[in-house]
Structure 1
Amino acid sequence: MKQHTSFELIRLSKQTADARMRLRLLAVAHFLDGANRTQVAAMTKISRRIVNQWISNYLSQGLSGLESKKSSGRPPRLTDEQAKQLTLMLTEAAKSETGGRLTGQDIQGYILSEFGISFHLNHVYKILRKLGFSWLSSRSKHPKQNVEVMEAFKKFPLSTIVDIPIFVSPAEIDIWFQDEARIGQQNTTSKLWAEKGTRPLAVRQRQFEYVHLFGAVCPRSGATEAFISPYINKEVMRQHLSQISLATPSGRYAVVIMDGASWHANDIADDFENLSVVKLPPYSPELNPIEQVWSWLRQHKLANRCFEGYESIVDACSEAWSAFIEDKERVKKLCHRQWATMIT
């Protein structure tokens, strides 16, 4: 164990950013210069008992004896087993098929009834953060959704789809995702930057003008096609498929994945030689990445806005779609799904 001179300790005190360590080094330096412990206590304005402890620690352990020891603090009132039980309860509640949500008061009551421990509500939130939980926005889910069917769909080898002509190889197939969104005067509002402690107001109209925005994306190439219509039916849907068909390069084949809406009839693709459709399982919008496109359009361009009428809604949708597709890498990144990659 190295012994230091008072000069070395004073030099070390000037180099450290820890104010407590600096005071301890100076106290020991005064002691090494010949001051007794009572005098050191008077010079440093520290009790003699503490000074005596510092000097004893230094003499027995060197500089390491002067370092702050991490306080263990009070042991947690929840045992590890109780924390695991609480985590399991919260996890299961978040997956509940019946809906609803747990509030801080609910969790506070659960801890009291199950473990007999009363926590202040603020401490309950600290426990939740320590266990890895946060107050997050949830995604919508239809009560009739079948997770097993969705997983089976994702595992389905798209290269074996029977509607694809036998002479088309998987390497020549492009997967497109298609959907429609209704955009209108009864618009959505979104989060926005505002001063803390305030609740900003966003205008939301109550009129009834709207348009239907048909959109389709090809994650492999970043290609996109859009169509705006005042109404929806099979003929309008065929027009949109015609766009995709014309956008499909010569020598390639398009498989368009869409939901089971009534205007997505089984025969809508019969007139196209380079295109066929595949239906998503019922109540499974999560499988269609174009849902994220609609979210992007609303959050970045369409939310918190007023529209004078039909034409202004059309203009806004056109501008929003153009802004989204100007970056093909954004289209690819947002809409890529590993399960929708053709087998080669």
Structure 2
Amino acid sequence: MICAGFLSPVDRADLTALARDGSAAHRLARRANALVLLDSGWSCEKVAGALLLDDDTIRRWHGLFIANGLEGLTRFEAGGSACQMNGEQQENLKAWVAAALPRSTRQIGAWIEQEFGHVYAGRSGLIALLHRLGLEYHKPKVIPRKLDEEKQKTFIASYEKVLNSLPDDEAVLFADAVHPTHAARPAGCWAPSQETLAIEQTSGRQRINIHGAVDLETGQTRMIEVETVDAASTIRLLESIEAFYPMLVLIHVFLDNARYHHAKMVREWLAQPGRRIKLHFIPPYCPHLNPIERLWGVMHKHVTHNKSYPTCAQFADATLGFLREKVPRNWADICDSVTDNFRIVNPSDFRVVT
């Protein structure tokens, strides 16, 4: 028995359009019609009766679609295909896609029609063809422009040395600043098909400035809201860290090379007698080596995705409440998303899209 609902929304739309298309070949339109009826809950026997066919034919059409998508449905008994390309054409297509990096199947289908005169009736068959040619839909990764592989290796080695020799009266934290904007961020979600979702947007012009640090061992955070992220806010953050760990002899703080982290007043503060903080600087252009960057992503997922706050003050309360309270409280669930499992990013491992 064939269960209803086996078609994706895209496939169902493609097949419905094909069944209604008066210019489509009659045999192809009839097969599309049969698949749509099966997806609606009709039995093979009922569909066969309506189309004056036998139920084995309907089952075979269903099998062709399940195995090869819409392209499989276009293969007829004589072995032909409504949109089949020969070997040379497929190699030309593969070479063009590799060179042009088209962003949609619509663009690919238009190129095939222009170059070879073949028309693909829907996305399913075209996607199946692209997969057979070893082509996939990619989203490029964003990498910094000036990456130094050796500096990354050196930093990871020095960080592991600190961890491996860390006594009980020392701790390691990662620090950074973030500037979330008071604006809702739409994110995909599952919902009833008949509903149209929307988010009430805010002005998107106000933002809050947070200078913070996280202890990956415990999930404890120090987060201060500031008017401006600068040398003064850096000192405030470091003072907050020292106050939070009164019994520790030394606190290692890893942070990036922002100019205010190297400011003279910060250096003077660190040189004062009794200071218990040692700064370690992450290599330039290497945000992937600072786990707190991943914490900011977790924050957006919980605070801004599909959520709207009437005022910036409410947005600030929700953001700081998540970072100060919910992160430490739920660290067992969050820690796998904010790890020091560092990797070396080498630009030569990528094809850089220009």
TM-score by length of 1: 0.58
Deviation at 1:226, TM superposition (A): 1.6
Deviation at 1:254, TM superposition (A): 0.9
Deviation at 1:236, TM superposition (A): 0.8
Which of residues 185, 200, 205 in structure 2 aligns to 1:203?
200
Bigger radius of gyration: 1
Deviation at 1:81, TM superposition (A): 7.9
Q: Distance in 2 between matches of 1:89 and 1:245?
A: 59
Q: 1:266 to 1:131 in 2, by over 3 A?
A: farther
Gaps of 5+ in 1: 1-16, 19-46, 48-70, 95-100
Find the counterpart in structure 2 of residue 54 from structure 1. Answer: none
Q: Distance in 2 between matches of 1:325 and 1:189?
A: 26
Which structure 2 residues correspond to residues 275-290 of structure 1 after superposition, within 5 A?
275-282=278-285, 284-290=286-292
Which structure 2 residues correspond to residues 174-193 of structure 1 after superposition, within 5 A?
175-193=172-190
Q: 1:145 to 1:175 in 2, by over 3 A?
A: farther
Q: Distance in 2 between matches of 1:170 and 1:88?
A: 50
Deviation at 1:145, TM superposition (A): 1.6
Q: Distance in 2 between matches of 1:253 and 1:237?
A: 15
The answer as to whether partners of 1:185 and 1:205 remain within 8 angstroms in 2 is yes
Deviation at 1:293, TM superposition (A): 1.9
The answer as to whether partners of 2:155 and 2:282 remain within 8 angstroms in 1 is no
The answer as to whether partners of 2:174 and 2:290 remain within 8 angstroms in 1 is yes
Q: Distance in 2 between matches of 1:169 and 1:299?
A: 30
Q: 1:138 to 1:292 in 2, by over 3 A?
A: farther
Deviation at 1:199, TM superposition (A): 3.9
Q: Distance in 1 between matches of 2:298 and 2:276?
A: 33
Find the counterpart in structure 1 of residue 150 from structure 2. Answer: 152
Q: Distance in 2 between matches of 1:290 and 1:92?
A: 37
Mean CA deviation greater in 201-210 or 186-195? 186-195
TM-score by length of 2: 0.56
Q: Distance in 2 between matches of 1:156 and 1:81?
A: 49
Q: Distance in 1 between matches of 2:343 and 2:221?
A: 17
The answer as to whether partners of 1:219 and 1:333 remain within 8 angstroms in 2 is no
Deviation at 1:340, TM superposition (A): 7.7
Find the counterpart in structure 2 of residue 256 from structure 1. Answer: 254
Deviation at 1:201, TM superposition (A): 0.9
The answer as to whether partners of 2:152 and 2:283 remain within 8 angstroms in 1 is no
Opposite residue 256 of structure 1, the aligned amino acid is F
SS in 2 for 1:315: helix
Find the counterpart in structure 1 of residue 319 from structure 2. Answer: 317
Q: Distance in 2 between matches of 1:229 and 1:299?
A: 23
Question: 1:218 aligned to 2:215?
Answer: yes
Deviation at 1:181, TM superposition (A): 2.0
Question: 1:330 aligned to 2:301?
Answer: no
Q: Distance in 2 between matches of 1:215 and 1:88?
A: 48
Which of residues 171, 184, 190 in structure 1 aligns to 2:165?
171
Q: Deviations over 1:88-134 (max 9, x none)?
A: 7656666xxxxxx5221222244456777543342223334556766
SS in 2 for 1:256: strand
Find the counterpart in structure 1 of residue 109 from structure 2. Answer: 108
Question: 1:119 aligned to 2:120?
Answer: yes
Gaps of 5+ in 2: 3-53, 55-76, 345-354
Q: Distance in 2 between matches of 1:115 and 1:156?
A: 53
Instruction: Give the length in aligned residue pairs.
Output: 256
Q: 1:87 to 1:157 in 2, by over 3 A?
A: farther
Q: 1:307 to 1:134 in 2, by over 3 A?
A: farther
Which of residues 175, 180, 194 in structure 1 aligns to 2:191?
194
